[in-house]
Amino acid sequence: MEDLHWVFGYGSLIWKHDFPVIEIRRAYIEGWARRFWQGSHDHRGLPTDPGRVLTLIEAPGEVCQGRALLVESDVFEHLDYREKNGYERHELTIHFDDGAVDGITYIAPIHNAAFLGAAPSKDIAAQIRRSKGPSGTNTDYVLELAQALRELNIEDAHVFDIEARLRQDNGVDR
């Protein structure tokens, strides 16, 4: 087991992964909340028109529900490259219903150059609506995430608020 690691997914890792995974489990972390506060110049936006993607923000007393993926250590080389636009590896405790493990996630901290921070929900939704990048539209990123959270019965007011605004603004129906 020495070479295996649990990675906590709170965003795109909830609905897809592009690397080998040994096991996936429902999991949660304590003291963090997901927010669309990180700029995306390389996946869901462009350097001239960044989109907004998730990072984790410290939130004492809150619980962030997601999925934990058990991976071999060479996966980190892939993730370090994929998440290079401001994200850093962060060690934390990952909780399961029946216990807890030491694990890793990626967080875009507030001091990174692409960090955008808080904004009114209508402005976050407007920025997401107009953004797209090499990985697809920013709107699809939010809708895929919201759908996956719903399938897992995970409640997240911030994500569902932005999703509702996008569906309203765009007439998106899916």
Q: Treating both helix axes as pointing N-terminal to C-terminal, what angle do 121-130 and 157-170 enclose, rounded to 10 degrees?
A: 60
Cα 51 to Cα 80, 132, 133, 141, 154: the distances in Å are: 20, 7, 8, 10, 24
The reply to whether 51 sits near ligand BEZ by the rule CB under 6 A is no
User: For residue 55, how many other CB atoms are within 10 A of its CB?
Assistant: 27
Nearer to ligand BEZ among residue 13 and residue 125 (C-beta): 13
36 near ligand BEZ, judged by CB under 6 A: no
Contact between 105 and ligand BEZ per CB under 6 A:
yes
On the 0-12 / 13-18 / 19+ scale of CB atoms within 10 A, 121 is middle
88 included as an active-site residue? no
Site for ligand BEZ in 54-93 (CB under 6 A): 54, 79, 83
Total residues at interface with ligand BEZ (CB under 6 A) = 11
Query: Choosing from 2, 23, 72, 83, which is the catalytic residue?
Result: 83
Positions touching ligand BEZ (CB under 6 A) are 7, 9-13, 54, 79, 83, 105-106
